[in-house]
Structure 1
Amino acid sequence: MKAAIITSFDLPPHYGDVPDPAPAGPEEMLVDVLAAGLHHLTRGRASGAHYSSIAAVPLVPGVDGVGRGADGKLRYFAQAPGQPGTMAEKTVIALDHSIELPDDSDPVTLAGAMNPAMASWLALRCRAPFRRGQKVLILGATGSSGSMAVQIARHLGASQIIAAGREESRLVQLHALGATDTVTLGDDRLGTLAREVDVVLDFVWGNSAVGAMEAVLMQRPNRSLPLTWIQIGSMAGEIAAIPGAFLRSACIQIVGSGHGAVSGREMLKELPTLAAEIARGTFRIDAKATPLRDIQRAWSQVPQTGERIVFTP
C-alpha cells in the first residue's frame, strides 16, 4: 500500500510503498483511511522529539484520522504510541481508541479539528473544575490548538477569554472566535487583564509561562482565589523555572493535560460529544485537503493563518 514514510528523524517523510498492516486480534480492526491531519503532535512524534515518540525508523507518521472498516462504519480513531501511523491508505486501529461517527460527517473536517480541539476540551472537561461563567487565560492562542481553545472556552461558557500570543495580526482575528481581550506575550497589560482568571490554558510553557505567571500573581487582588494552571504544550521550552514563592504565596495548582494525565477511559467519554459539536459546525475550522502523494512538499509548507493540512490517501 502507499504511505508516508519517515526514514530519518531529521528529514520530512516521502511517499512510497509499505506492507499492509494486519490486526493482531479481535480488539483491533483494519480500516481504509479517508483523512489524517498534520498536527503538532504528528510532527513531534515523527521527529523523535515528543515524549511519546517511538525511537525507531522507518515508520509511518500520523496520530489520528477518520476511516471506514469492513463493517462499513465511519470512525474517528487516535493511535497510542507504538500503533501504526495513519498517513497511509490503510491502518490498524484499536477499537477502544475509536468512536463511531454519523455517516454524513465530513472526514476532512473531523480529521483536521479533533486533535487541536481535544487539547483544550479535555483540559477544561477533565483537568480543571471548570464551570460556566469562569474566566480563562490562553497562552499561545495564535497557534492552531490555541485558536481552537478560544472557541471551546466560549462554547463551554467562559465569561472572559483573554487570548495571549506573539503575533498581533493573528490576535486581532481571535475576537471573532470569542476572545474578549487580546494581548501579546510580555505586554505589561497581561497581568492586569488576567488578574482574576480561574483557569490558564498554557500552550507555551518555558520562560514565557514563568513571566506570565508572575504578571498574573502580582496583579491578583485576592491570592486565595483558586487558580488552575494547565500545562498543555511547550512551544517556548520544556522547562519552566517556577519560583517556590509563587506556589506559597497564592492558591495556584499546576497540572498537565495530555496522554497519561487524562486516561483513555476519560478521553473516550468526552470525544463523542466533541466530535458531534465539530460535525454540527459549532466551531470555525479551515481544513485543507491535500493528496498524500504531496506529503514531502506539504510537510515543510507553512500553512496559512488557521489552516489545517489534512492528508487524503
Structure 2
Amino acid sequence: MKAAVIYNKGEMPQYTDFPEPEIENDEQILMTVKASAIKHLDKSKASGKHYSSAADNKNGKIPGGDGVGVLADGTRVYALGVNGMMAEKAIVEKRRMVKLPEGIDNNIAASLPNAVAGSAIALRFRAGMQKGETVLINGATGFTGKVAVQIAKYYGAKRVIAIGRNGQSLQSLLALGVDEIISVRQDDEAFIAQIKKIHNETPIDIIIDYLWGHTAELLLDALKGTGSYTHKTRFVSIGAMSGDNIQLSAQTLRSFDLQLSGSGLGSWSREEVEKLFKEILPEMFELAASGQLKVETIDVKLEDIEKLWEMDVEGGKRLVVTM
C-alpha cells in the first residue's frame, strides 16, 4: 500500500510503498482510510518533541493518530489508529471508533475530533463548565480555538471572550458567537488593563488556554488580587504555541481563587475518553452535519505529503490528507 512514512525523528514524511498492517486480536479491525488531518500533535510527535513521542523506528513509522475511513461492510467511521493513519489502510480499535452521520464530509469529520477533544474535555471535565458562565479563550483564532468558541456557546456560555493575534481572524469570530475580542498585538499594559476591565464587569469563570507562554503570564497577572475576596477562575492549559514555560509568582498564585489544570494525553481518565467516543464526538459530528458547527479545511493528497507537511495554514484552517 502507499503511505506517508517517517524513518527518523525530525525528517519529512516520504510518500512510498509500505507493508499493509495486520490485525493482531479480536478488538481490532481493518479500515480503508479516506482522510486524516495533519495536526500540531502529529508534527510534534513526529519530531520527537511531544512528551508522548515514541522511539525511532528504523523500519519507518506512519504519522497520523486518527482518521476517517470505511470498514469492510461499507460503514463509514472516524477512528483512532493502532498504527499510523496517513496510509491507504490502517488497523483501528473497535471501541475507539464512531459511526459517522450522513451529510458530513470525510475531511470535515477527520478535522474535528482532535479539536473537540482539545476543547470539550477541557470545558466539561477540567473546568466543569455550567450554563451562564463567562469563558475566555486564549488562542481562539486557531482551528481548535474556533471549535472551542462554538462548543462553549453550545454548552451555554453567557459570554465568550476571544484572544488572538490575527486581526481578520479575530473579527471573523464574532460571526461564530464571540462577544468580545482582544488582540495580543498591543502593549502589555493595555492588554492587562483590558482583561482587568472585563473581569471587573463580568468575572471570568473559565480560561481555555492554547498559547501558554507570555500571554498566560499576562492573564494571570491581570487576575492577580489585592487581598480582598476574589472570583474563582478555572484556568485550563491545553497548548503551548507561545512557549512551554512561564514565570508564575507565588504572590499571584496566593492572591486570587485560581484552579490551574491541564488537559491532554495522559491527563484524561478512561471514563472521560469513553464519554468522548460515546457521547461527545457523535454529538459534534451531528452538529457539523447539520451546519451548526463550522470549520474550514485545506485538502491535500497523500502523494503530495512531502511538500505539504510543513505548509503554513492561516485563518484557523486545518490540513487534511486525502487517500
| Range of TM-score over shorter length | over 0.9
Task: Please give the root-mean-square deviation of Cα atoms over the aligned residues, in Å.
Answer: 1.9
**Kept after mapping to 2: 8 A contact 1:29/1:95:** yes
**Kept after mapping to 1: 8 A contact 2:120/2:151:** yes
Equivalents in 2 of 1:104, 1:214: separation in Å? 46
The secondary structure found in structure 1 opposite 2:222 is helix
Closer, same or farther: CA 49–180 of 1 in aligned 2, 3 Å? same
1:199-227 per-position Cα deviation (integer Å, ceiling 9, x unaligned): 0001111232122111133599851x221
Q: In structure 2, give the amino acid aligned to 1:213.
A: L
Equivalent residue for 1:227?
Answer: 233
Closer, same or farther: CA 263–281 of 1 in aligned 2, 3 Å? farther
Q: Is 1:250 the equivalent of 2:252?
A: no
How far is 1:253 from its partner? 0.6
Closer, same or farther: CA 148–257 of 1 in aligned 2, 3 Å? same
Equivalent residue for 2:30?
Answer: 30
Closer, same or farther: CA 22–220 of 1 in aligned 2, 3 Å? farther
Equivalent residue for 2:70?
Answer: 68
Equivalents in 2 of 1:274, 1:264: separation in Å? 20
**Kept after mapping to 2: 8 A contact 1:162/1:193:** no
Q: Is 1:281 the equivalent of 2:296?
A: no
1:117-170 per-position Cα deviation (integer Å, ceiling 9, x unaligned): 321111111211211110011111121111211111111111111111222232
Equivalents in 1 of 2:141, 2:314: separation in Å? 12
**Kept after mapping to 2: 8 A contact 1:99/1:268:** no
Closer, same or farther: CA 221–181 of 1 in aligned 2, 3 Å? farther
Closer, same or farther: CA 60–215 of 1 in aligned 2, 3 Å? same
Q: Is 1:266 the equivalent of 2:272?
A: yes
Identity %: 35
Q: Is 1:205 the equivalent of 2:212?
A: yes
1:49-60 counterparts in 2 under 5 A?
Answer: 49-57=49-57, 58-60=60-62
**Kept after mapping to 1: 8 A contact 2:209/2:236:** yes
1:54-80 per-position Cα deviation (integer Å, ceiling 9, x unaligned): 12132110011111122332211124x
Greater shift, 186-195 or 146-155, is seen at 186-195
Equivalent residue for 1:193?
Answer: 198
Report how many residues are paired: 309
Equivalents in 1 of 2:41, 2:114: separation in Å? 9
1:6-21 counterparts in 2 under 5 A?
Answer: 6-21=6-21
Closer, same or farther: CA 243–65 of 1 in aligned 2, 3 Å? same
Closer, same or farther: CA 221–149 of 1 in aligned 2, 3 Å? farther
Closer, same or farther: CA 264–311 of 1 in aligned 2, 3 Å? farther
Q: In structure 2, give the amino acid aligned to 1:14.
A: Q
Equivalent residue for 1:155?
Answer: 154
Closer, same or farther: CA 193–2 of 1 in aligned 2, 3 Å? same
**Kept after mapping to 2: 8 A contact 1:192/1:216:** no
With structure 1 as the length reference, what TM-score do the two structures score? Answer: 0.92
**Kept after mapping to 1: 8 A contact 2:225/2:255:** no
Equivalent residue for 2:322?
Answer: 312
**Kept after mapping to 1: 8 A contact 2:5/2:62:** yes
With structure 2 as the length reference, what TM-score do the two structures score? Answer: 0.90
**Kept after mapping to 2: 8 A contact 1:39/1:116:** no
